[in-house]
Amino acid sequence: MSGNSGNSGNAGNTGTAGLLGPGGGIASPDRVELPFIAERTPDRDRRDVRGLLIPRDRWRDQHWSPEWRAWIALSKIPPATLAALQAITVADWRARDEAAELADLAILAEDERADALDEIVAQDRQYANFMAEFVILLGISPGSHPRMVTLLHLAALLGVLVVMRLKERPAEGVPPRPRPSHRMPALKPPVEVPGHASYPSGHATQATLMALIAAEALPAAEREAWRPLLLTLAYRIARNREIAGLHYASDSEAGREAAGRIFGALREMPGFEAMLEEARREWSRSDGTL
């Protein structure tokens, strides 16, 4: 069944995710013997290009990449919002039927993993890898919709900020949860098992928060049409982690629950509505395209 894993090479197509990172531009190759800096202009004056200076004497707003803009927004979150985020808890995972959940994961590994493997690999590790799925679904880019992409980054950063605390202590007196493969080694996840506790799922938390924020950052006339699509994508990303044997279904449920509570705290945060409005304006161009 796992013979199809060779198809995971297609995961390289998610190079789109590289555009979502911290870079200040797109890199291109240069020549060794004649680098561009050594060129001369093709006109009669034959000037050195190194002397052609652009009259930019200040840092411009568009030079911020969305990822770093999100870090700046994170650094400005007021104490009241931080306190609300710190107060978030999730249910006790020990109340779930672990044996039944493990049995379900075994079935998923046998029946669905080969088909889902490309997505599992593509969405693994850095959050930008699955954030790219939202960018592609929405048909945007960091250049066309920098404020929306900034909000997606912010969702990911807030998600990991909250979820890592919950993984250590989901609620008062609740211990960290072992990974499914720690209990059932035969699950053999096809990607590296993260070195932190299983509950709640970080992918589920971050992806669901991305979906909630992205939907709210859309124009009102489009919002309800997009919301189910975005939430379905978030659900699929989380379920792929279950198919991979990395998370229980209840990990994903708790992640979605945490995302809803994070979103609620953000809605009460001064300035958050202004951030959403800035993103909405990106969708209101004169050509009317979404």
Radius of gyration of the chain (CA): 22
Domains (ranges, CATH) in the chain? 64-282 (1.20.144.10)
Full DSSP string of 180-237: HHHH-GGG--SSPPPSS--SS-HHHHHHHHHHHHHHHTS-HHHHHHHHHHHHHHHHHH
Query: Please, what's the b/e burial string for 173-211 (b: 16 or more CB within 10 A of its CB; e: otherwise)?
Result: ebeebebbbebbeebebbbebbeebbbbbbbbbbbbbbb
pTM of the predicted model as reported, rounded to 2 decimal places: 0.87
pLDDT (tens place) for every residue of the chain, 290 residues total: 444 444 444 444 444 444 555 555 667 899 999 999 999 999 999 999 999 998 877 887 778 899 999 999 999 999 999 999 999 999 999 999 999 999 999 999 999 999 999 999 999 999 999 999 999 999 999 999 999 999 999 999 999 999 999 999 999 999 999 999 999 999 999 999 999 999 999 999 999 999 999 999 999 999 999 999 999 999 999 999 999 999 999 999 999 999 999 999 999 999 999 999 999 999 876 344 54
Would you say 129 and 9 are in contact if contact means Cβ atoms under 8 Å apart? no
Rounded distance, CA 63 to CA 103, Å? Answer: 50
